[in-house]
Amino acid sequence: MAEEKKIVRKNIMATREMGRIMTECFQELDQAAKTGDKKIAWCTSVGPAELLLAMGFLVYYPENHGAMLGSARMAADLIPHANALGYSPDICSYLTSDIGSFLTGETPLKKAFGVETVPKPDVLVFNTNQCRDVKDWFGWYARKFNAPLLGVHTPREIGEVTDDHLHSISKEIEALVEPLEKISGNKFDMDKFKKVVALSRECSELWKKVLETAASTPAPITFFDGTIHMGPAVVLRGTQQAVDYYKLLLKELEERVENGVAAVDGERFRLYWEGMPIWGRLRAHSELFAGLETCVLASTYCNSWIFTQLDPEDPFKSMARAYTELFIVRSEDIKEKYMEKMIDLFKIDGIIYHDAKTCPNNSNNRYGMPQRLEEKTGVPSLVINGDLNDMRCVSDEQTKTNIEAFIEQLEENR
Ligand code: SF4
């Protein structure tokens, strides 16, 4: 039987600096919402943020708030408020918990950043590259605030990304400029846009390097650390603060690699996490795996904010490429090739697929991928059932039993 060890959590020193820049960001949004001195755009997490920043908006990301509701384990109490309005318990639990949060006035922003409420939007901008739920989610708020709703309609299940895809999506992004000029009162400035795209690209390159430190043995960072430290890549990409932050974090992790410091002491097994985090169980899962001397060290999820295709010399088209070549947008065969690359790069012993009840878009176990990949690569996998935010879908006992049995299987196969 796989035995659990007592856990010593290793803090990442840069966390404090991340807290500072994230607080600064939310307080600036709060201030702007109160004074009206800057316009605020709500944006989906893989939406056209660079354009919004270049147009002078402060950008707020509701999915980040959704993840905070999950981590703070507030979501289960809030979801029924959205269900009562006709938003099904089976759809995205970021959406339902976020709307529930708005209806009740309960938000983790108070405790985390001293901010009482989410900032009122002047415009809401989505990209359907990840799912349709984001459009419905933003649509609810657009009606609530009587604010304009704009968007990019990216098709999904894309195989090869063609020039036709890039042409039509970049034209959709460009078409946002005119309405955004009217809402912001600012003229579009190509030089400013290029600068933001360049900063976003630099942030992505650094974030990629941070994640790839986990290719070392032992890995200096876990997937669970990554879900926390990806904050600036999501909400501050396109800014100097994010670039500076990832330089700091990368330096610390490179020092760990140099000194052989493991994120999980006695690392015996190296796992890949496919799917959404289970936000309300991050700590519990991190301790469970560490207790089994197993490091979950890489994931599709954290990799999803790497946009190294961005090119300041061709900002519209490169944005279209960066936001369309994403894993979540792609067909099954492209996803499998990507996973094979990750298995090699990170020297993966096993894969955990999280089948998230309310997010089919990020649950890649449902059409035979685990079986096909195992056949091709010989790397075994385990599917765990759960959800990103709705902890009523999570069975802790069953998850623990299944993970322990999986680690035993890995031991036996050695
Ligand atoms: S991808 Fe999934 S978790 Fe993200 S907004 Fe869409 S349904 Fe929700």
pLDDT digits (tens, 9 = 90+) for 99-136: 999 999 999 999 999 999 999 999 999 999 999 999 99
- What is the C-alpha separation between 83 and 96, in angstroms, rounded? 7
Percent of the chain exceeding pLDDT 90 equals 97
pLDDT band at 3 (very low <50, low <70, confident <90, very high): low
Residue 349, pLDDT above cutoff 70: yes
What per-residue confidence (pLDDT) applies to 5? 62
Percent of the chain exceeding pLDDT 70 equals 98
Give the HSE-up count for residue 248: Cα atoms under 13 Å, Cβ half-sphere.
16
For ligand 1, pick from 94, 141, 363 the residue to mutate: most ligand atoms within 8 Å of CB. Answer: 94
Report CA dihedral (177, 201, 70, 406) to the nearest 10 degrees.
140
Distance 395 CA to ligand 1 centre (A): 21
The continuous run of DSSP H or E covering 125 comes out as strand 123-127
For ligand 1, pick from 133, 157, 304, 389 the residue to mutate: most ligand atoms within 8 Å of CB. Answer: 133
413, with CB counted inside 10 A (0-12, 13-18, 19+), is exposed
Residue 304, pLDDT above cutoff 90: yes
For ligand 1, pick from 88, 131, 132, 278 the residue to mutate: most ligand atoms within 8 Å of CB. Answer: 131
Average pLDDT score over residue span 230-237:
98
Average pLDDT score over residue span 332-345:
98
pLDDT band at 7 (very low <50, low <70, confident <90, very high): confident
pLDDT band at 10 (very low <50, low <70, confident <90, very high): confident
Residue 49, pLDDT above cutoff 80: yes
What per-residue confidence (pLDDT) applies to 108? 98
Average pLDDT score over residue span 364-384:
98
* Token code pair at residue 306: 């790497």
What per-residue confidence (pLDDT) applies to 197? 98
Distance 22 CA to ligand 1 centre (A): 22
Please, what is the average pLDDT of the chain? 97
| Residue owning the nearest CA to atom 8 of ligand 1 | 92
pLDDT in tens, 156-203: 999 999 999 999 999 999 999 999 999 999 999 999 999 999 999 999
Distance 131 CA to ligand 1 centre (A): 6
Query: Is the four-CA dihedral 114, 118, 120, 124 of positive or negative sign?
Result: positive
What per-residue confidence (pLDDT) applies to 9? 73
Distance 338 CA to ligand 1 centre (A): 20
pLDDT band at 2 (very low <50, low <70, confident <90, very high): low
| Residue owning the nearest CA to atom 2 of ligand 1 | 359
- What is the C-alpha separation between 356 and 373, in angstroms, rounded? 20
Average pLDDT score over residue span 76-97:
98
Residue 210, pLDDT above cutoff 70: yes
Q: Which amino acid appears at position 374 of this protein?
A: E
- Atom index in ligand 1 nearest the CA of residue 91 equals 7
What per-residue confidence (pLDDT) applies to 4? 54
Report CA dihedral (81, 86, 88, 92) to the nearest 10 degrees.
-70
Pocket around ligand 1: residues whose beta carbon is below 6 Å from it?
63, 92, 94, 130-131, 133-134, 276, 359, 361-362, 388
Distance 134 CA to ligand 1 centre (A): 7
What per-residue confidence (pLDDT) applies to 396? 98
pLDDT band at 286 (very low <50, low <70, confident <90, very high): very high
DSSP structural state of residue 330 = B
Which phi and psi (to 5°) does residue 348 adopt? -85, 135
What per-residue confidence (pLDDT) applies to 226? 98
